Amino acid sequence: MPVVYNKNIDEHSVLAIWKIEETEAELLAGLQLKQHEWDIISSFNNGKRMLHWLSTRLLLRTLLNTAEYIDCQFDEDGKPYLTNSDYKISLSHSYDYAAVMISKDNAVGVDIELIKHKIKTIKHKFLNDIELAQRQIGDNTEGLYVCWCAKEAIYKWHGKKGLEFKQHIHIKPFKLKNEGSLNALVELPTGTRELTVNYFKTKDGYMLGYVQAPEVIGIR
């Protein structure tokens, strides 16, 4: 399995990226599936969706380093969780890549996206005027993707519906690099939280952002 990136964020947290090169049959051979999971993949109307679903599960199995059945479920807000493991998880995929982040200690969020210029046409939907006024964001395609991946990663970290990218997540000024970090203020029901999001651009034109932080207590 072509794991092209594997990083120990800390002692109990790992982030990995996998380039999808296998066929559906090859991916299926590495998984244990129950009937409800077969029902899910049989509902996909195109092969790419199935490859994404299968590859994230196989990468998850690889990071957990287990031969046991992995029961990955989704709660009422769409956040993935494991019923038979203490690890918190986050899954993402885009075109030829899948990304998975796991942690025993903290809630996590990861997002990977293929960089495309068309993001400029929707920038006002997820960024406010103050954010767009930042020079490194504005009409900078890569800066826009850093912000999108950061906000998506934060949304996945939070894992509750109602968190709006434009209204509730505010990107503070940062220096745009191929690999770096930024801080964001997040308006949560329990109060405002400042989070640090790390990001990097791959050599073949993808952007990835990830975050880990203690889970918000009292809203789950």
**Whether residue 72 is found in the same domain as residue 162:** no
**Whether residue 28 is found in the same domain as residue 97:** yes
Domain boundary residue, one of 79, 104, 129: 104
**Whether residue 121 is found in the same domain as residue 196:** yes
* Number of domains comprising the chain: 2
**Whether residue 83 is found in the same domain as residue 67:** yes
**In this predicted structure, what is the pLDDT of residue 219?**
46
**Whether residue 136 is found in the same domain as residue 201:** yes
**In this predicted structure, what is the pLDDT of residue 217?**
65
pLDDT by residue for the chain (220 residues), tens digit each? 589 999 999 999 999 999 999 999 999 999 999 999 999 999 998 889 999 999 999 999 999 998 889 999 999 999 999 999 999 999 999 999 999 999 999 999 999 999 999 999 999 999 999 999 999 999 999 999 999 999 999 999 999 999 999 999 999 999 999 999 999 999 999 999 999 999 999 999 999 999 999 987 654 4
218 located within any domain? no
Domain boundary residue, one of 59, 82, 104: 104
- DSSP for 47-100 reads HHHHHHHHHHHHHHHHHHT--S---EEE-TTS-EEETT-S-EEEEEEETTEEEE
CATH number, domain at 12?
A: 3.90.470.20
**Whether residue 28 is found in the same domain as residue 114:** no
**In this predicted structure, what is the pLDDT of residue 77?**
96
CATH number, domain at 140?
A: 3.90.470
C-alpha span between 203 and 115 (Å, rounded): 11
169 located within any domain? yes
C-alpha span between 214 and 210 (Å, rounded): 14
Tell how strand 97-103 and strand 191-201 pair up.
Answer: unpaired
196 closest CA partner among 184, 188, 208, 207 = 184
C-alpha span between 83 and 72 (Å, rounded): 7
**In this predicted structure, what is the pLDDT of residue 220?**
42
**In this predicted structure, what is the pLDDT of residue 1?**
57
220 located within any domain? no
**Whether residue 136 is found in the same domain as residue 97:** no
**Whether residue 125 is found in the same domain as residue 200:** yes
Domain boundary residue, one of 86, 104, 122: 104
**Whether residue 149 is found in the same domain as residue 201:** yes
Containing structural domain, residue 199: 110-213
121 located within any domain? yes
**Helix 35-42 / helix 47-64 crossing angle, nearest 10 deg:** 140
**Whether residue 99 is found in the same domain as residue 192:** no
195 located within any domain? yes
